Structure 1
């Protein structure tokens, strides 16, 4: 008798009759041995079904027999088919039925990954048996011609629905059995089995098992190649403050209790990922951190099921609804989401557990010390990192950058290296509406009376210790008020307001962002508020100092409503009042006309610093400071200039610059005449009478 299908132009008696993997390569170990033991049981059922089908084969005398697999070739296959696990007796076809697969499976061992997968994913015994039938040709090629024989088609060398049900001893008309292969049934829904060729009749549709699942069952834990570009390693946990530790322990207890879905809303990018890393470690679990798209969900969930790891998504896409729904639909997988947006109930019909991620406070000194180690012993680490609120792995990356900078400079790590590295990790989107200034000044560049100078130092002190005072000591005003630091610098033009803001930023080790009012104020109703909201939102998540120069343009007094313009102007002011209440960053306002600032704004400010016009002694100090690095003729005395020309600091600098250009033009040093000419020009620009015009 011959089987009714063509195999190849080769000798049909030897088709698929090669030695099985187990026999050729020696006994398998671990997960592979457990899977091969299951295939040994399947082999017996295949042999029995072949025997039953061949008993009535009418093609023994077919003249095209050379194109068919003969019964002798089939029996040769079965006769040389030794047990895959090595040793034992040959499996011979016995009886005429296939038996029931669920009754013949071996007792699961500790390395039986199929049994573990079935238990973890809620698969039935029939599901596991069908899965085994479908993957058999991917493990032992001798199954291919036999499946082709049983399918009556040489080209169909995989199991079909009908063949799988037959080998499992289940009637093809069983509605319950057929339902296990439905697209929403566990096998297909979990990405473990694919039922191909939907255009064919149900019983002749091919079954295919993903290569990743076959590899996993054989002991290969390499992630699916399609996911490698999406996965990134979970960051190593870093020490946190007491409040964050308590939150993490509660979260770890939840994760250890079973699969769950959590959404952490974070104030700073990376806060949620840092908390998840610490909680997973405390719970004794592993996580897969991935940058996910909607189309990658199925493969990722399958990988999570196979490896038993949690899915960690540190950043949601622009439209997170489809992604969140797809992930939440997997109740057997722990899904951990993080993002800066508030959770929207429309994202998913089943809400996850929504929590606020604790950020790193007081600069996260413990985390910095953990990553810097002995490199942090040469300077005051707590004071250096206090202004920064870096989340997640940013601290570790900043520490690596600081070491690289120190190595480049050929010395130990210093506070300056740490500040430079930390600023680089605080990426900002503020530059679309602001101008960034990298501070290059210090307290020595300020010439101010002790009163304003002390207030400026207090401002920097508040920025460093706001978490302790307002948080730990519970001195926040409540009502949703943020922990921002707000200051107003008032004084005439040129008295040092902008320079002082730059000095404060430099002392804190932060960049200064000057708001460009031309890109903020818009003639259309509501657009100004939108632009300001973008600035405040970005400033909240950036370690920087925000400067509103000439702030009375947007923080002016509200007026009596006489027309629509007054109404909308008042709406802008009201919005700013509310937004300042919840601001968490550092914002400085400067104005030449303090009286124009609305009293409601000044009440919300932490400090108001008045910059007086410099007296003669301060003007002399400003002249000398401006000339400190300028080549000057011997014997220059700036005292007459300081006495006779009442100039503010900005004007004095302008006069020195003018004198320097005059000297550079003739290739010499700055002289007293150059300085005098510079001072006179500043007076003329201001429209003032020049003292001693025509002689000095």
Structure 2
């Protein structure tokens, strides 16, 4: 009668053919229905324990709290504290074994019916043994019904002991002394029971020993056992679930579809089988590199959706900056992945794998966590993979997501623009060629264009998104960090302001057309497949100072709707070895993501001829030039270089040019056109303005002409009169002095007699 009986799980019962027919009737309808059966089993275990204690002690061990007897007497079905004969352990032992058999039978039927029962699932995933599973039910009981607090206090002879302790549970489930010693390991902080199930935030307080420590389930575990799909509140600041996408995405590129298919085959080969997969013996790890973050996210979501895997996105930067202990955050993420058989996707992973190595230890800790059974992991970064993946229990591949090619980019623009009230004049081809955007940036640019169109409509009944709205919105999507490395030029010049010979004007228009129609040539016609490098546009403007090189660069920027940045050579070149290369690398990298034109003035200082190596400095200088040539070939945007000394340029550099435009000194007729175009319509001009005279007498480049016209305007403003020849000659005298030339009044008769300054 006093034999102690352990609560154990019976072996899995094979369903007979007759049982298979009854699976639908036997299967649990919900987690709550299943837990109700488990709680009835716990009730039987409590009754067995009480009856057993009554017989073994032969008295009233609970005399101190006998007042609770009446309160819980109904639960104990009349078992008297004073009359042990009324409690027959054999009765409860028999009913307990029958309840175990019945629960296991229904669990197996539920599995075959595809019902997801969280506690059996948790037991397989972590994994947990039969005793650990019973401990979890005992800890869950007070969370569902407060009567168990009174029962635990009564049975532990302590009114404050409302939570079970390991010592009490050992007794409740009938463990022998030897089994109690062996079972202490279950409460190790790094064991699956304590690590993933229990709330350990106060585990070391109040001086509890291991066997007297009150046990409380983690709140998320309680919700999980009840079948509520919630995210642990401590993860809300760093993670979010992948929700089904309501947005209709444009057709994805073939390369992305191929990556998706490969990823699915890879996971199916190494990953879990459905339904109800067992814990993985190895983890699958994908590193997704490149700038196309939306494509990475869409691929991860699509792969997991097709494999019926939940997906959790984690912001790596927020994870690293979390107020919570980093190891605890990893524990919560691992638990989420194990319990829900969920894939994890770490975005902005460059914060973990940076070149400074500051988070290298945390990176190794993350890899250790992933190896411990996280089924599928996606890591999203910009740079190529640079961390070690050691161990045979991780299957790793890198997937590259570069910017969409010209064809895909144009398709994205056209597909996304279908629902946008676009002006017929909007040139999507030009936008596609000018901005190397990802699909996400294209969607955001179109949405921003609508916002700007509404803002600029000024109450118009019908909204039209104009091309200027789209260009402005595109720049809102671009990276603006380049402004810390180069000076932005606010381009204001247009074709009608530029005075050049016909051939040079034709070359400049050809430059613009190569940008506008690159999607056709590189994409539709397949030229991109023939070129591994050199898909950008490298242009050289050479000619004397003031010939219009900077102005022409601005005209190109205006025509293409692109921002243009002037690179300060003095800030790039450094006397320290390797610093020049680093500075240039930053500039080209930022320009790549900001979709800007890079304008190098006085480029011969950077791209001069490589010299014969006579000393260490010569060798490093040549290395810098070679590095610059390499970056120019890799860059897919527009680089414009201006030089006054064409003969100083390296031949290897000249071979890499797509266009070389010579800016000649302007002839008389060109100078006259420059003079006539220099004054805005609102500028008051005197009737005596003699443009032909000025073009013949002032043999100057356009830059000098601009200075004279502007200074003459200020002279006229000071005198409150129109701009006339008097002010022109006064300004010309100052410009001659600046250039070191002699200004003779006799050379400018008859107008020189009007000058006040001699």
**TM bracket, shorter-chain basis:** 0.7 to 0.9
What is aligned with 1:315? 348
User: Aligned runs of 1:55-204 on 2, under 5 Å?
Assistant: 55-56=55-56, 60=60, 65=64, 70-79=68-77, 95=91, 103=101, 105=103, 107-108=106-107, 109=110, 110=115, 112-119=117-124, 121-167=126-172, 171=176, 173-174=178-179, 179-189=185-195, 191-194=196-199, 197=203, 200-204=208-212
How far does residue 421 in structure 1 lie from its aligned partner after superposition? 0.7
Mapped pair 1:660 → 2:713: yes
More divergent stretch after superposition (407-416 vs 680-689):
680-689
Counterpart in the other structure of 2:260: 248
1:222 aligns to what SS in structure 2?
coil
Report the CA distance shift for 1:331/1:667 in structure 2 as closer, same or farther (over 3 A): farther
Deviation readout 1:413-436 (Å, 9 max, x if unpaired): 112111111111112322222112
Matches of 1:359 and 1:392, distance apart in 2: 9
Paired position in structure 2 for 1:267: 291
Q: In structure 2, which of residues 697, 702, 713 is the aligned counterpart of residue 649 of structure 1?
A: 702
Partner of 1:522, secondary structure, is coil
Partner of 2:445: 398
Q: TM-score, normalised by structure 2?
A: 0.78
Following the alignment from structure 1 to structure 2, what is the Cα–Cα distance between the partners of residues 490 and 645?
22
CA distance in 1, matches of 2:542, 2:437: 32
Question: What is the SS of the residue equivalent to 1:489?
Answer: strand
Q: Which blocks of at least 5 consecutive residues in structure 1 are unaligned?
A: 1-27, 82-90
Measured after TM superposition, the shift of residue 263 of structure 1 is 0.6
CA distance in 2, matches of 1:495, 1:526: 35
Question: Which whole-Å CA distance do the structure 1 matches of 2:588 and 2:514 have between them?
Answer: 19
- How far has the Cα of 1:270 moved from its partner? 4.7
User: Which is worse superposed, 644-653 or 232-241?
Assistant: 232-241
Question: Contact (CA 8 Å) 1:514, 1:548: kept in 2 or not?
Answer: yes
Q: In the alignment, which of 553, 563, 584 is matched to residue 501 of structure 1?
A: 553
* Cα distance, 1:341 vs structure 2: 1.9
CA distance in 2, matches of 1:626, 1:482: 38
Residue number in structure 2 paired with 1:14:
none
Q: 1:218 to 1:75 in 2, by over 3 A?
A: same
Helix, strand or coil at the partner of 1:346: coil
Deviation track 1:101-141 (CA, whole Å, cap 9, x = no partner) reads 96563523425332344455554544433322232222222
Contact 1:489-1:610 within 8 A present in 2 as well: yes
Structure ranking higher in helix proportion: 2
Q: Following the alignment from structure 2 to structure 1, what is the Cα–Cα distance between the partners of residues 142 and 488? A: 63
Question: Is this contact kept in 1: 2:536–2:636, CA < 8 A?
Answer: yes
Cα 1:480/1:273, change in 2 over 3 Å: same
Q: Is the 8 A contact 1:484 1:585 kept in 2?
A: yes
| TM-score, normalised by the number of residues in structure 1 | 0.84
Structure 1's 648 and 291: CA in aligned 2 closer, same or farther, altered over 3 A?
same
Please provide the CA RMSD for this pair. 3.5
* 1:76-116 alpha-carbon deviations (Å, 9 max, x no partner): 444599xxxxxxxxx99874659569656352342533234
Q: Which residue of 2 aligns with 1:297?
A: 330
Structure 1 residue 399: Cα displacement: 2.1
Partners in 1 of 2:523 and 2:620 — Cα distance?
36
Runs of 4+ in 1 over 6 A off after TM superposition: 91-94
**Distance in 2 between residues matched to 1:613 and 1:61, nearest whole Å:** 112
Q: In 1, are the aligned partners of 2:343 and 2:376 still within 8 Å (CA)?
A: yes
8 A Cα contact 2:49 2:172, kept in partner: yes
Q: 1:34 to 1:391 in 2, by over 3 A?
A: farther
Q: State the Cα distance separating 1:591 from its structure 2 match.
A: 0.9
Counterpart Cα distance in 2 of 1:431 and 1:216: 50
| Structure 1 residues 552-563: aligned runs within 5 Å | 552-563=604-615
Task: Answer with 385-394 or 474-483: which moved more.
Answer: 474-483
Q: Which residue of 1 aligns with 2:673?
A: 621
Output one character per residue of 1:594-642: Cα deviation in whole Å (capped at 9) or x when no partner. 1111111111122212222222222222222221334223533422212
- Relative to 1, partners in 2 of residues 1:48 and 1:578: Cα closer, same or farther, differing over 3 Å? same
User: SS at the partner of 1:40?
Assistant: helix
Q: Who is 2:639 aligned against?
A: 587
- After superposition, the C-alpha distances for 1:453-503 in whole angstroms (9 at most, x for unaligned) are 222232233334546645675646989635322211111111222222222
Correspondence for 2:14: none
Selected match of 1:386 from 411, 416, 433: 433
Structure 1 residue corresponding to 2:220, chosen from 195, 212, 215: 212
* Contact 2:350–2:381 (CA under 8 A) maintained in structure 1: no
* 2:7 counterpart residue number: none
Task: Give the match for residue 23 of structure 2.
Answer: none
Task: State the Cα deviation string for residues 7-26 of structure 1 (Å, max 9, x = none).
Answer: xxxxxxxxxxxxxxxxxxxx
**Aligned residue pair count:** 657
CA drift at 1:45: 1.6
In 1: Cα distance, 2:623 partner to 2:287 partner: 34
Report the 3-state secondary structure (helix = DSSP H, G, I; strand = E; otherwise coil) of the residue aligned with 2:351: coil
Secondary structure of the residue that 1:173 maps to in structure 2?
helix
**Which position in structure 1 is the counterpart of 2:412?**
367
SS in 1 for 2:378: strand
